[in-house]
Structure formats: structure tokens, C-alpha cells
Amino acid sequence: MSGTTTIFYGPVINPKSLDAYAALPRCLLCVGPTGNVEWLVEDVKAHLLQETLAQKGCIDEDVVELKMGEFIIPGFIDTHTHAPQVPNIGSGQQYELLDWLDKVTFPMEAKFANTEFAQRTYQNVVRRIIDCGTTTCCYYGSLHLPSTKILANIVHTLGQRAFVGKCNMNRNCPSDYIEDSASSSLTDTSALIKHIHELPSAPTVHAATGTQHEPLVQPIITPRFAISCTGELLSGLGELAAQDPHLRIQTHISENHDEIKFTKELFPECESYADVYDTHGLLRGNTVLAHAVHLEESECKLIKKRDAGISHCPTSNFNLRSGVAPVGKFLDLGIKVGLGTDISGGFSPSILTAIQHASIASKIVAMQSPPSSKPPPPGKYASRQLPLPTLLYLATLGGARVCALESRVGSFEEGKAFDALLVNVRSEAGNIGLWGADLQDIDGGKEGKEKEVLDGLLERFFFTGDDRNISRVYVQGRLVGGKSFRGRVD
């Protein structure tokens, strides 16, 4: 928590829906002592600033005035990544999923049996992910309980909002990287849940409503994928989930053809891959399903019926040659979708890269769709390139919905947490890709064009920006990272 009230004045981008965001060049936004947005006024002309502050009863508070070329957006939400795979980023590009797991991924994850290695590595991993602008992250740990506790502790200390799970995997894995039995896997899972629930957490009460919110770090049930779990283990996890409806669940689904074939062989009694999870009580409103590249129609229907969400991981889907997920179709069906980096299937820890590849994936779908003389109707996404508001939505509000956090994060609203990025596209950020005429346009006071200029800056940040442009990262009002963050522990 920041402990004090902070007021920001300047350009704010606020996602509203799948096809709209508010570009607010002169927004006044107040973050209260517990890190929640106390209030925001969308448009305050400079000459009315003092008057507006007085009306709000803010006499002595400092106002952080954004400079030209800075803007605030909600923090990114990474709905799917693997912390112990970060040391592998960029290796094993030649493999598809199952070989890549055997040859590259499992050997690296096995090293996390060593808790000193885990401590050192996870410290750098979480720091790097925060500095990339990820304020909420769904983490897979390794199968090891002690190392995954360490991951949760580090996330907690560094102040990120996150779900942390240890992988459940008791079959079809190498002999040196497999759990002994379903029962030991379940015991360790319960122990991790208990450990995370006992982490001390500051209250995040909203002053106006008195609502007490969920802690920043929470456990998540993590059956790695159906192939690596016996039916007994999946049933045990389903029972664990049934005891606590708030407990999130994450797993992989329909990523690769060989994986799907093997899954069906292992669970012949189930109608489909999605049905494997459903049969075992693991498909519900707070289940995060990563990839979903090759779902059948009946599986889409089932996922929609259960209100589970999909983590779209386009970088990984390209990199492991898994395929192109039909995200526009999911959106048209009303299925919840967010973005995932899926390190190290994906080679970048940044959601900016996922945004870029989500755009390209949608362009591929559009290019492969039959030509049409009519433009697609608004709000229909199946056969068209995802527009900028939709990309922003997937990276923020969409991700929040997928991990059942939309009442807390993903956009700026009174009572929601201030999880935010202060983006700097000025030349001093050192990213030559973003130097350009737009800033002069702002500096020159392009009267009446401020919204268009802000739209342009957002688009260029998405497609050419990187962590050099992320000056500050806030979680629950607390400054936790970014290029100008000095409180490093690494």
C-alpha cells in the first residue's frame, strides 16, 4: 500500500469493453491510502484543476502531473506462464510440444528440486516479469512444494498480484521429474494452498464501501495437463476445488494434435479433451485453460456453459508450431479470453509481445477467411483482424475476467485496485522506435486532436514499445517496478 493519497493528472487510457476504451487526455485520478481508486474525473481542463481538487476536498495532496508523452494504462494481466521455464527462454526452437517438454522443459524444471537455485532464479524471474508491466500473473511453478513456496514468497515480497500453483504430474513424465503418487501430489497441493493463505497480507479495504478484498497472492490448482495426471489425481484435485469455490484452477488444453490424440487414448471414457476436465470437476467459472488451439465445437459449447476462460498464448502457439487459436470465434461465442506469455513455449516475458502476436494471429485468420464484400458487423470478430481496443481488452479486462478478478483489476473504476503502468514514450526512454512526430503534435498543443494523438501513442507503444517505456509499475497503489523504480532487491 502506498499509505497516502496520490493524485494523478494527465492522459489515461481506460478499457471499457471488447471494442471500446476511453482515451482521456486530461483525467484526474485519486488513489487512496489502501491502493484503491477513490475517484476519477474523466476530463478536467487545466484551468479548472485547482477548483476540481477543492471540490473533492483535496487541499494538501500532491498532484503527480504527467508530462507530454506519458500516459497511464491498467497493468497487464498474464493469464498463463511458467516461472521455472524462464531460464530456457529461446532454446529448443526446433521442437513441437511433446518433444520440447521431454528434451528442454522437464530437464530445466527438475533443477528446481534445489531450493537455492529456485531462490536465486525466481527472484530474477519475478523482478523481470514485473518490470515488463505484468501486474497480475498466473504462475505455474515446478512440481516441487519447497521451491513453489519460495516462488510465492518472492511474489509476495516484490508486491505483484498473482496466482501461484505447483504442477500436478504423476504419470507420463521422466523418472527424475514425476510425483510419487496421486496422494502425495494432493498432500503437497494442500500444503501449498495453506502456505499461501497464511502469507501476511495488508488489508485492501475500500474506504467508501468497507469491502475487504482478496489478498494479492493466491493459490491456484495446477494439473499440468491431462496427460500428466491419473484420473485418481484429477478427481482428488476436483474434490479440493469443490471445497473452495474461490480457488482458481489452471491447466493446458488442446494445444497440439499429438497431445490431443494421446489424451483421448488415456481417457477413452471421456467425450473430449474438455470433457476430461469437466468429468473430474475441474471446469468452472474460475478455470484458466491455456492454448485452446484445436477445440471441437462441442468443447467450445461446454467451456461456454461452464464459463471457463481461455488464455490465448499466440507467441507460444507460433513458436511450438501448435497452430493459430480461433480467438475471434471464442469472442463471438461469448467465451472469456485473456493473453498469456507461456514462457518458455513463448520466448518473451512481456505481454506486449503477446499483444503483437495476437494481432498477427488474427490477421492470419482474416487472410484465410473467405473474402467478403461487406465489412464484418461491429462486435463480430471471427474472421477479422483484432482491432486496437480488443487487443487492449485482452491484455487487461479480458485477462481479469479469465482469472475472476474483474471486480478488482483490468480498468480504472472507483473501488477497484490501482494496478497501473505509467508509460513513457518520450525520447529519454531510449526507445528509438517510438521517437516521432506525435510528441511534437502534443507539444504543439494540437487542439481538439488529443484523443487521436493518444490513440496513436497507444498503438505505437503496443507494436514498438518495450520495458524501456514502462517507467512505473503499480500494484494496489504501491510502486513495485518499472524503469524508474529504485527499490530493487536483486
The residue among 105 and 218 lying less far from ligand GUN, judged by its C-beta, is 105
CB of 109 to ligand GUN, least distance (A): 8
CB of 271 to Fe ion, least distance (A): 24
List Cβ neighbours of 117 (8 Å cut-off, separation of 6 or more).
111
The residue among 70 and 342 lying less far from Fe ion, judged by its C-beta, is 342
Which stretch, 36-44, 97-105, 122-130, 354-362, contacts ligand GUN (CB under 6 A)? 97-105
Q: Segment 383-422, which members bind ligand GUN (CB under 6 A)?
A: none
Tell me how far the alpha carbon of residue 384 is from its chain's centroid. 23
CB of 304 to ligand GUN, least distance (A): 23
> Binding partner of residue 38 among ligand GUN, Fe ion, none, CB under 5 to 8 Å per kind?
none
Question: What does the alpha-carbon distance between residue 105 and residue 81 come to, in Å, rounded to a whole number?
Answer: 13
Per CB under 5 A, 342 contacts Fe ion = yes
CB of 167 to ligand GUN, least distance (A): 8
User: Is the backbone of residue 261 left (phi > 0), alpha (psi -120 to 50) or beta?
Assistant: alpha
> Binding partner of residue 188 among Fe ion, ligand GUN, none, CB under 5 to 8 Å per kind?
none
Selected from 78, 188, 342, 467, the binder of ligand GUN by CB under 6 A is 342
Per CB under 6 A, 316 contacts ligand GUN = yes
In this structure, are residues 292 and 260 in contact, taking their beta carbons and an 8 Å threshold?
A: no
Selected from 127, 252, 408, 472, the binder of ligand GUN by CB under 6 A is 252
Per CB under 6 A, 144 contacts ligand GUN = no
Question: What does the alpha-carbon distance between residue 317 and residue 315 come to, in Å, rounded to a whole number?
Answer: 6
The residue among 90 and 448 lying less far from ligand GUN, judged by its C-beta, is 90
> Binding partner of residue 189 among ligand GUN, Fe ion, none, CB under 5 to 8 Å per kind?
none
Q: Which grid coordinates are listed for 267?
A: 481417457
Helical axes 351-368 vs 450-464, angle rounded to 10°: 90
Per CB under 6 A, 82 contacts ligand GUN = yes
Per CB under 6 A, 294 contacts ligand GUN = no
Q: How far is CA 340 from CA 98, 290, 345, 396, 490, in A?
A: 19, 8, 11, 11, 25
Per CB under 6 A, 105 contacts ligand GUN = yes
Measured distance between the N- and C-terminal CA atoms of the chain, rounded to whole angstroms: 21
The residue among 133 and 345 lying less far from ligand GUN, judged by its C-beta, is 345
Nearest partner of 105 among 338, 324, 316, judged by Cα: 316
DSSP annotation string for 208-230: TT-PPPPPSEEEEEEE--GGGS-
Question: What length is written for the chain?
Answer: 490
Report the 3 state secondary structure along 8-70.
Answer: EEEEEEEEEECCEEEEEEEEEEEECCCCEEEEEECCCCHHHHHHHHHHCCCCCCCEEECCCCE
Q: Which residue minimizes CB distance to Fe ion? A: 342
Per CB under 6 A, 255 contacts ligand GUN = yes
206-245 footprint of ligand GUN as x/- string (CB under 6 A)? ------------------xx--------------------
Nearest partner of 325 among 337, 336, 315, 314, judged by Cα: 314
Question: What does the alpha-carbon distance between residue 396 and residue 400 come to, in Å, rounded to a whole number?
Answer: 6
CB of 80 to ligand GUN, least distance (A): 8
CB of 161 to ligand GUN, least distance (A): 22
The helix or strand, by DSSP H or E, that contains position 459, with its residue range, turns out to be helix 450-464
> Binding partner of residue 240 among ligand GUN, Fe ion, none, CB under 5 to 8 Å per kind?
none
290-329 footprint of Fe ion as x/- string (CB under 5 A)? ----------------------------------------
> Binding partner of residue 255 among ligand GUN, Fe ion, none, CB under 5 to 8 Å per kind?
ligand GUN
Per CB under 5 A, 131 contacts Fe ion = no
Number of residues located near Fe ion, criterion CB under 5 A: 1
Q: Is 46 exposed, middle or buried (0-12, 13-18, 19+ CB in 10 A)?
A: exposed
Selected from 345, 398, 399, 477, the binder of ligand GUN by CB under 6 A is 345
CB of 1 to ligand GUN, least distance (A): 34
Q: How far is CA 417 from CA 32, 35, 360, 383, in A?
A: 10, 6, 31, 35
List of residues contacting ligand GUN (CB under 6 A): 82, 97, 101, 105, 224-225, 252, 255, 316, 342, 345
